[in-house]
Chains A and B, each alone.
Chain A
Amino acid sequence: MSMLAWMPFLQPMPGAMHWWWAWIVPMVALVSVIWKAIRLPSLDRYWREVAWMTGQVLLGMLALAVGLIVLVQWVVPLLPAD
């Protein structure tokens, strides 16, 4: 299926499957946009707070991913088989 034949909003985006994991970035950013709009008493520092929350969540997920890699690749193989 070529890009020219793509019908936006009706067909899945071509090629998006190869970098599906990257969609976490806009998702976290948009969740932060909504959450900070609701939670902040004042919107004076709104975009800075949105950027800070987005960075915190993404770093947290990255840390979890690294922790899981360490657990699966190095810790679990050290356990006795039986």
Chain B
Amino acid sequence: MHDDPEERPLQPVSAALAWVLPGLGHMRNGEIRRGWMVMLGVLGMFLLGVLVSGVDCVDRREDFLWFLAQAGAGPLAFATDALNAFLVKSGRVGELLNTMQPDGSTVPISTFKGVGAIEGVGTLFTAMAGLMNVTAVLDALRGQRRDG
């Protein structure tokens, strides 16, 4: 019987795979359907957040604490941050407008940057996807259940 997690050997490779691609760790453990459901949930939530707010909702430099949570979704979060820096923050798409800061300085901000509640929605979706994937990684680490 492998119901008791204490009796199951830890699966660090599965945990690593679960971080690289959500759901893959469960699939390696033989829990194929669980893997698909985790993948659907994590990738669905992350991509829905980016669809609503744009790649700007993942920003390692400006929103580092949020990024800590978003990074739980794996390399996808780092790729989204890189796309944000390469395309949006550099001005390769959209326009950069100089905006006045409270201290009097001006900072270039992209016209593609989300503002207000809608930016919060994307940030929350992507951060929640990352945090939920952390629980999935820990579950994959515990190995396969008896029922699979």
Residues in A lying within 8 Å of B, measured CB to CB: 7-13, 16-17, 20, 23, 26-27, 30-31, 33-38, 41-43, 46
Contact = CB atoms under 8 A, between A and B. Distances in A.
- Chain B contact residues (Cβ within 8 angstroms of A): what range? 35 or more
Given A12-B52, A17-B117, A31 B34 contact: no
A31 B33 contact: no
B82 interface: no
A10 B87 contact: yes
Interface of A is mostly: helix
A12 B128 contact: no
A23 B44 CA distance: 13
Contacts of B94: 10-11
B45 interface: yes
A30 B114 CA distance: 23
A31 B121 contact: no
Given A10-B87, A11-B54, A12-B54, A31 B41 contact: yes
B58 to A, nearest CB: 11
B71 interface: no
Contacts of A17: 116-118
Contacts of A31: 41, 45, 128, 132
Contacts of A7: 93, 112
A30 B41 CA distance: 5
Contacts of B67: none
7 contacts: A9-B51, A10-B93, A13-B53, A30-B48, A35-B135, A43-B33, A46-B37
